[in-house]
């Protein structure tokens, strides 16, 4: 859930590490730290806050040396404190480590090491790696042997980079990402290519159960048994270099604004994979579809569309729930896993469980080198470019674009996604933010907001609530229109705002009736529709399009509203508190 980085080369390590960490801050950002190897010793600086704030305070990037490691943290074990921030030195200070993941047996290991006189300063599970490695190195006096021993003792999922006093870097990967970048003047070890993309696009993707040693001899890769491993050097897509905000105030706004392109790209580029996926779906006995957060909301849209247009039944399962009912997956099934990052631990676990029932795994994923992509029999790439803002925006509509393409095939063209038309409609919504900004001002002080939608618009209401929660910290709830009278109506009074997702389709008049019932209780109504109505206190107009495709465009004004509301409230839309972009721990 954190990001780790290491550098070994001719350049000045600290500024390279800090830049890399800034780009990977989306992975976790409650504290940050850097350690470098100076002439004699390992120097560490770390503190609580975002990379630029901590760097302004502590000048992480002025640490001397050509070898170093760095980390941004998203707390799992231990509070957000300076001491719990990484890097963690061993008790002798001769090794320092940065770690992403969870060490499940850390308390046993820690108790044992404490008995042997090793001291621990933090409450983290990670610190045990530093002392365990130190203990093994003190015994074996050999870095390779001590890595083999240490990795055999650690239980859990992890990627870590260790820096030895001698200046050698050693790193291990086990079910958490770790990528090697090969630059002209140095090597990088990083959770994400974004950590080093400015410097090189030559990479090696390690497999689970491998470790790396970087020293004067160069790069050596071994499996956990100590046997050398050979890997191809591959090139990462240049578009990953495109991770600047440009003229936009925030990545979130940039990513919302990219949707006229990304919707088209997702639909067009997934064409072949979609044809193959359709065959799998047609021949499967049972179809399950899973994801977390936004990706799960996309799964709910798929269920609705495939049922309505192709008469195909799909069961959506929240990824984190499958663990508790593994029998839900019947034999000869397929599981379609949706994930922007392809690294969400809950999704990967769901895939694992489904594989135990011999299910075929299909995935809709943005990062084609991700663990999910590797686990899948068939991958449909979202092709929407890097998404840095923690709240998913363009990845959601890219997922929908692919889901529509599948629907089109499954129903033999009964609906036809014209990406260009949708793209135009999205551009029209994005052309003028004035009204949405005004409404965002209205919402600045409110405590609760509800979003109402019927049929396929209910998953969009859920996704809208998620965006508002993530970006504005306002309590937000998506409600299926008909359920209003079964409870939520009791909540309606003059302090409440309700967003009504109300395009002019078969749900229109029922949803309008719900809006009137709400208005009669004094609540204010924000209508998202192509048709005006006197019931709306605020009307956000969307273009009229073919009924089937409204979900692709009606989410856009709500993404913008959540964004501007965050700006009004002075919260950081790119990095909401307590959240991380890819949750790689359970």
Q: Catalytic site residues?
A: 2, 581
Question: Scanning residues 312 to 341, which ones bind ligand G6P (CB under 6 A)?
Answer: 339-341
295 is an interface residue for ligand G6P by CB under 6 A: yes
Rounded distance between C-alpha atoms, residue 506 and residue 439, angstroms: 27
User: CA 577, 397, 365 angle in degrees (round to 5)?
Assistant: 80
The DSSP secondary structure of 498-556, one letter per residue, reads: EEEE--SSTTHHHHHHHHHHHHTTT-EEEEEESS--TT-SEEEE-----GGGHHHHHHH
Least CB distance from residue 292 to ligand G6P, whole Å? 4
Structure tokens at 27: 């992975």
Residue among 262 and 344 whose Cβ is closer to ligand G6P: 344
CB of 553 to ligand G6P, least distance (A): 20
Minimum gap (Å) between residue 466 Cβ and ligand G6P = 7
The reply to whether 581 sits near ligand G6P by the rule CB under 6 A is yes
Residues 114 and 131: their CA atoms lie apart, in Å, by 9
Q: Which is nearer to ligand G6P, 333 or 340 (CB)?
A: 340
For residue 214, report the phi and psi dihedrals to the nearest 5 degrees. -120, 115
Least distance in angstroms from the C-beta of 1 to ligand G6P: 10
**Is the bond preceding residue 87 a cis peptide, omega within 30 degrees?**
yes
Do the beta carbons of residue 489 and residue 483 sit within 8 Å?
Answer: no
Instruction: Give min distance, CB of 233 to ligand G6P, in A.
Output: 26
Query: Tokens 């200046």, residue?
Result: 167
Q: Which of 36, 72, 200, 344 binds ligand G6P (CB under 6 A)?
A: 344
Distance CA 586, CA 579 (A): 14
Residue carrying the six token digits 């529509």:
404
Cα 37 from chain centroid? 32
Footprint (CB under 6 A) of ligand G6P, residues 345-374: 347
Site string for ligand G6P, 385-414 (x = CB under 6 A): -----xxx----------------------
Q: What is the 3-state secondary structure (H, E, C) of 471-491?
A: HHCCEEEEEEHHHHHHCHHHH
Q: Give the one residue of 1, 69, 163, 583 binding ligand G6P; rule: CB under 6 A.
A: 583
DSSP assignment of 142-202 = -HHHHHHHHHHH--EEEEEEEEETTS-EEEEEEBS--EEEE-SSEEEEESSGGGTTTT--E
**Closest distance to ligand G6P from the beta carbon of 257 (Å):** 18
Select 148 or 391, whichever has its Cβ closest to ligand G6P. 391
Q: Does 101 sit near ligand G6P (CB under 6 A)?
A: no
CA distance readout (Å), 254 to 95, 280, 572: 41, 36, 14
Name the percent of the chain in helix, strand, coil, to the closest 5: 40, 25, 35
Give strand pairing partners of 348. Answer: none
- Nearer to ligand G6P (CB atom), residue 318 or residue 489: 318
Contacts to ligand G6P from residues 235-294, by CB under 6 A: 292-294
Binding residue for ligand G6P, selected from 80, 446, 544, 579, defined by CB under 6 A: 579
98 contacts 49 by C-beta, under 8 angstroms: no
**C-alpha–C-alpha distance, residues 154 and 144, integer Å:** 16
Tell me whether residue 27 or residue 86 sits nearer to ligand G6P (CB atom).
27
Smallest distance from ligand G6P to CB 340, Å: 4
How many residues touch ligand G6P under the rule CB under 6 A: the total is 16
Question: Which position's Cβ is nearest ligand G6P?
Answer: 293
Nearer residue to ligand G6P within complex by CB, 506 or 577 = 577
Specify the residue, 9 or 293, whose C-beta has the smaller distance to ligand G6P.
293
Q: Which of 470, 530 has the CB closer to ligand G6P?
A: 470
From the CB of 502, what's the least distance to ligand G6P, in Å?
Answer: 25
**28 forms part of the interface with ligand G6P (CB under 6 A):** no
Residue ranges binding ligand G6P (CB under 6 A): 292-295, 339-341, 344, 347, 390-392, 579, 581-583
């Amino acid at each position: 859930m954190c990001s780790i980085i290491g550098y070994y080369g001719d350049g000045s390590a600290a500024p390279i590490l800090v830049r890399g960490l800034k780009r990977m801050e989306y992975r976790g950002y409650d504290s940050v730290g850097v350690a470098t190897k100076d002439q004699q010793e390992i120097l560490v600086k770390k503190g609580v806050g975002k990379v630029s704030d901590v760097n302004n305070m502590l000048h992480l990037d002025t640490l001397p040396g050509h070898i170093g490691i760095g980390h941004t943290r998203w707390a799992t074990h231990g509070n957000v404190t300076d001491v719990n921030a990484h890097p963690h030195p061993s008790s002798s200070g001769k090794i320092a480590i940065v770690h992403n993941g969870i060490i499940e047996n850390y308390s046993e290991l820690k108790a044992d090491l404490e008995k042997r006189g090793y001291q621990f300063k933090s409450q983290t599970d990670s610190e045990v790696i530093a002392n365990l490695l130190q203990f093994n190195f003190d015994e074996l006096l050999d870095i390779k042997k001590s890595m083999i021993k240490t990795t055999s003792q650690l239980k859990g999922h992890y990627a870590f980079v260790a820096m030895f006093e001698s200046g050698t870097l050693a790193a291990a990967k086990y079910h958490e990402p770790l990528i090697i970048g090969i630059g002209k003047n140095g090597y990088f070890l990083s959770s994400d290519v974004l950590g080093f993309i400015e410097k090189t696009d030559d990479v090696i993707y390690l497999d689970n159960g491998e470790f790396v040693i970087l020293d004067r001899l160069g790069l050596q890769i071994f499996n956990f048994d100590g046997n050398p491993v050979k890997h191809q050097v591959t090139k990462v897509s240049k578009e990953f270099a495109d991770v600047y905000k440009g003229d936009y105030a925030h990545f979130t706004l940039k990513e919302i604004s990219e949707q006229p392109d990304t919707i088209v790209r997702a639909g067009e580029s997934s064409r072949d994979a979609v044809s193959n996926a359709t065959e799998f779906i047609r021949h499967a006995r049972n179809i399950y579809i899973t994801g977390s957060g936004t990706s799960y909301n996309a799964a709910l849209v798929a269920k609705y569309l495939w049922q309505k247009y192709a008469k195909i039944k799909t069961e959506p399962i929240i990824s984190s729930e499958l663990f508790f009912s593994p029998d839900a997956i019947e034999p000869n099934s397929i599981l379609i896993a949706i994930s922007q990052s392809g690294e969400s631990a809950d999704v990967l676990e769901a895939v694992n469980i489904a594989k135990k029932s011999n299910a075929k795994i299909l995935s809709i994923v943005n990062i084609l080198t991700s663990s999910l992509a590797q686990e899948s029999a068939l991958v449909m790439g979202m092709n929407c470019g890097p998404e840095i803002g923690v709240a998913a925006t363009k990845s959601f509509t890219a997922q929908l674009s692919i889901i529509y393409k599948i629907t089109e095939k499954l129903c033999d063209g009964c609906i036809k996604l014209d990406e260009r038309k949708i793209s135009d409609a999205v551009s029209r919504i994005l052309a003028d933010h004035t009204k949405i900004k005004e409404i965002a001002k209205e919402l600045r002080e409110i405590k609760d907001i509800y979003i109402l939608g019927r049929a396929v618009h209910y998953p969009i209401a859920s996704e809208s609530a998620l965006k508002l929660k993530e970006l504005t910290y306002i309590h937000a709830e998506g409600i299926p229109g008909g359920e209003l009278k079964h409870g939520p109506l009791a909540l309606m009074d003059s302090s409440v705002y309700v967003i009504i997702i109300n395009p002019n389709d078969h749900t229109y008049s029922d949803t309008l009736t719900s809006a009137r019932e709400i208005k009669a209780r004094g609540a204010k109504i924000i209508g998202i529709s192509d048709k005006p109505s006197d019931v709306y206190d605020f009307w956000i107009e969307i273009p009229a399009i073919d009924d089937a495709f409204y979900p692709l465009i009606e989410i856009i004004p709500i993404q913008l509203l959540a964004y501007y509301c965050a700006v009004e409230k002075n919260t950081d839309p790119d990095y909401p508190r307590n959240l991380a972009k890819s949750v790689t721990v359970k």
